[in-house]
Amino acid sequence: MSTNTAAGKTIHNDKVKNLVITAFFTAITFLGIQSFRIPLPAAVGTPFLHFGHIFVVMGLLLQGGKRGAVSGTLGLTIFDMLNGYMQDAPKTFVETALKCLIVGALFVMLKKKTAGDKKKEYGAAMICAVVYGCINVIMEFIMGTISMMIMGSGFAAAAVGAFTSLPATVINAVFMVIAIAVLYQPVKKIYVRMA
């Protein structure tokens, strides 16, 4: 009987720990945008350089695809809802969930092939960061084009307008990849010790 109780407590403790870690990544994703924003020029929207995607990808790589998708999606969507971007919240929710699930699945696949080799795992993390950034740029272009067409622009004008806004997204993607390159190894060591 005590074995079942001990096993039950362990399962309960793991669930609570996972919930707390997911909430932590949600909070730092939100704070990564809320606390650090540098506006960037763009024809569509009001983009800015921020730490949000860094924490989304870090949460994704450390927690796994599903929990990383939850924390990243919630962090970015809550930011939109609390900062006057309510019209973008549904788009942010769907885009982030898709990016995280795709990149999370890719990381699981690549990580299995590393067989515990830290250098190969780091390489897999970097590949996933680059893929996340590329998907973000592609989705931003598609959604920017659609948004401008909904507002009445023709396809060509909408595509050109969305394309002129891409430098801000590319800057954020490059910033995120560089930050992941620098932070992944030390943060993973801390995460493994604490989780």
Per-residue pLDDT at 45: 66
Residue 76, pLDDT above cutoff 90? yes
Per-residue pLDDT at 166: 87
Distance of alpha carbon 168 from its chain centroid, rounded?
16
Per-residue pLDDT at 162: 87
Burial class of residue 40, CB neighbours in 10 A (0-12, 13-18, 19+): middle
Average model confidence (pLDDT) across the chain = 90
Per-residue pLDDT at 13: 83
Distance of alpha carbon 74 from its chain centroid, rounded?
10
Among residues 182, 171, 193, 192, the alpha carbon closest in space to that of 41 is found at 171
Residue type present at position 64 = G
- Spatial distance between the Cα atoms of 124 and 108, rounded to a whole number of angstroms: 9
Q: Give the chain's end-to-end CA distance (angstroms, integer).
A: 28
- Please answer whether residues 63 and 21 qualify as being in contact, where contact means their C-beta atoms are separated by less than 8 angstroms: yes
Residue that is written with structure tokens 């074995």 in the block: 3
Per-residue pLDDT at 26: 97
Please, what sign has the CA dihedral across residues 92, 27, 61, 176? positive
Burial class of residue 155, CB neighbours in 10 A (0-12, 13-18, 19+): exposed
When pLDDT is averaged across residues 9-35 and rounded to a whole number, the result is: 89
Q: How many domains does the chain have?
A: 1
Domain boundaries, position 56: 2-194
User: CATH number, domain at 45?
Assistant: 1.10.1760.20
- Please answer whether residues 96 and 61 qualify as being in contact, where contact means their C-beta atoms are separated by less than 8 angstroms: no
Put simply, whether the predicted model's pTM sits higher than 0.75 gets the answer yes
Residue that is written with structure tokens 């390159």 in the block: 181
- Spatial distance between the Cα atoms of 21 and 26, rounded to a whole number of angstroms: 9
Eight-class DSSP state of 35: S
Distances in Å between the Cα of 71 and the Cα atoms of 25, 52, 80 are 6, 11, 14
pLDDT in tens, 168-194: 889 999 999 999 999 999 999 999 988
